[in-house]
């Protein structure tokens, strides 16, 4: 997870380049300044919702903080070569260690979608915390079964099933039952 510690550094670099104080960015992103400091200085990985708020406040796409390099043409990831990426936490206090994200487009600059291969390990029900963020998600189940709590509804998807959802609705994705699963997730967030 080479980006794990660099996300905060990139946020700080963009903030300072735009000559925005940490307190002003926290205010614009509707975050606590201490939370932003922990992200920038201690390498705390923000939740996807928090990262979206920061990117919108800075006027950049979310991928700006996830990019490793800039490739003008297509980004190719051969089978088995996807690199582990960030594991977004639902809240700042809990880590979603049961979701392992593998970016499928880190090398593509200027992208508007974030495609991930996501391995889902079985988790305790106490880990099923709902979150929401701007944008949309497309999910395709590759292996096993997943359960999605979406607002007041619950959806169970099996291998080959897909769902396209609005991310602003509180949701949680986890393995259905005690077996792991794998899915393709494409996340779109407007700037």
Which CATH number goes with the domain that contains 11?
1.10.260.40
Whole-model pTM: value is 0.65
Residues 87 and 139 both lie in one domain: yes
Q: Tokens standing for 66?
A: 């996830």
Same domain for 141 and 58: no
- Same structural domain for residues 130 and 165? yes
Q: Could you write out the DSSP letters of every residue in 46-109?
A: PPHHHHHHHHHHHT--GGGGT-SS-BSS-----TT-PEE-----SSSS---TTEEEEES-TTBT
- Same domain (yes/no): 46, 87: no
Residue 60 inside a domain? The answer is yes
Residue 19 domain boundaries: 6-65
19 and 57 within one domain:
yes
Domain count, the chain: 2
Residue 18 pLDDT: 85
Confidence of residue 160 (pLDDT cuts 50, 70, 90): very high
The pLDDT score that the predictor gives to residue 125 is: 72
Co-location of 93 and 177 in the same domain? yes
Q: Tens digit of pLDDT for each residue in 55-109?
A: 889 888 777 776 655 545 566 777 777 766 654 543 334 444 677 888 888 777 6
- Residues 97, 42 share a domain: no
Residue range 26-43, pLDDT digits in tens: 999 999 999 999 999 988
59 in the same domain as 135: no
Domain identity same for 111 and 166: yes
Rounded Cα–Cα distance for residues 6 and 112 (Å): 20
Q: Is residue 51 part of a domain?
A: yes
Residues 88, 154: one domain? yes
- 105 belongs to a structural domain: yes
Same domain? For 52 and 88 the reply is no
CATH number at residue 91: 2.60.120.10
122 and 184, same domain (yes or no): yes
User: What is the C-alpha end-to-end distance of the chain, expressed in Å?
Assistant: 25
């Amino acid at each position: 997870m080479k980006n794990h510690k660099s996300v905060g550094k990139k946020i700080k670099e963009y903030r300072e380049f735009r000559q925005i104080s940490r307190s002003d960015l926290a205010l614009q992103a509707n975050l606590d300044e201490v939370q932003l400091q922990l992200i920038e200085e201690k390498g705390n990985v923000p939740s996807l919702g928090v990262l979206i708020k920061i990117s919108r406040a800075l006027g950049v796409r979310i991928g700006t903080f996830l990019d490793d390099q800039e490739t003008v043409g297509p980004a190719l990831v051969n089978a088995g070569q996807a690199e582990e990426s960030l594991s977004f936490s639902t809240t700042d206090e809990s880590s979603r260690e049961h979701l392992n994200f593998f970016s499928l487009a880190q090398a593509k600059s200027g992208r508007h979608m974030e495609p991930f291969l996501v391995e889902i390990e079985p988790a305790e029900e106490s880990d099923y915390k709902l979150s929401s963020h701007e944008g949309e998600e497309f999910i395709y189940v590759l292996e096993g079964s997943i359960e999605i709590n979406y607002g007041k509804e619950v959806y169970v998807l099996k291998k080959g099933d897909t769902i396209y959802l609005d991310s602003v609705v509180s949701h949680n994705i986890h393995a259905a039952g005690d077996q792991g699963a794998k899915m393709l997730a494409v996340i779109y967030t407007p700037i």
